[in-house]
Structure 1
Amino acid sequence: FGGIEALPDWLGNLSSLRRLYLSGFGKLKSLPHQLQLLTALEDLTMQGFHEIEALPEWLGNLSSLRRLCIRSCKKLMYLPSVDVMRSLSKLKRIDIANCSQLETRCERESGPEWSKISHIPRIYIYILMI
């Protein structure tokens, strides 16, 4: 099962969309560019983007974003820049689960990505231990 390889172009026309759950894009190496047009989006969940290593700087265009949930993104290591993350002034919660590289990089105080999320009121990092 390879999953979906692209989002339809018309997705960017859903300017009033507030909640989006994306899953099954295991082959994509970047987030679909149409997402940056969804400026009313308040809740974004992305799951199973196995090839993405970095979230794009245009994530800052999602000015209404209140919650960002990132799950099962095996290679994800980098969030957008500190300036971009801080520009998301409505972002109140970030959840990171089953993203081992990003989890390590977001460790409180010591992780290289920590400064990008430290201002967010609710940070949930779920580390799977076996």
Structure 2
Amino acid sequence: MVLEESVEEFTQRFAAYATRGYAYPTPLGSPVLELACPVGVLHLFDRSPPPSPNGPVEVIVHGVLERYRYHEDRPGAWRLSGGRYRLRGRIVQPIEPWFYHLDVGIPIVLASEEPLEAGLPLEVVTAPPLMGFRLER
């Protein structure tokens, strides 16, 4: 499964699923984008070119499914060890083959080789890292 051709191509394809947040300053050259957003502070692998922003930003949050279960619980995002995240919410819709819009309180572009059913409560553990693609508007 090829997830992207380039950062620019991925950003164009999924711009409609960006979330707004606040980027905290990071050390020069750091690949981490520290994003404060409605579900808390996410530590994302910044896929966009430098420099990293400081302040309001729009970001596509992208995860790759490692495992899942259909499970009813409060939506949200929790950081686990090793760069993984536990995400709880609902699949809103398939976006295109292998990509789903997962709503956890913010939109997540979730890649999965397994078909996922829209509308059901879902708990996902992502493979590391959870990624961020910044929109430049």
Alignment TM class, shorter chain as reference: under 0.3
TM (norm. structure 2) is 0.22
Decide which structure has greater strand share: 2
Decide which structure has greater helix share: 1
Query: Taking CA–CA contacts closer than 8 Å with sequence separation of 6 or more, which of the two structures ends up with the larger relative contact order?
Result: 2
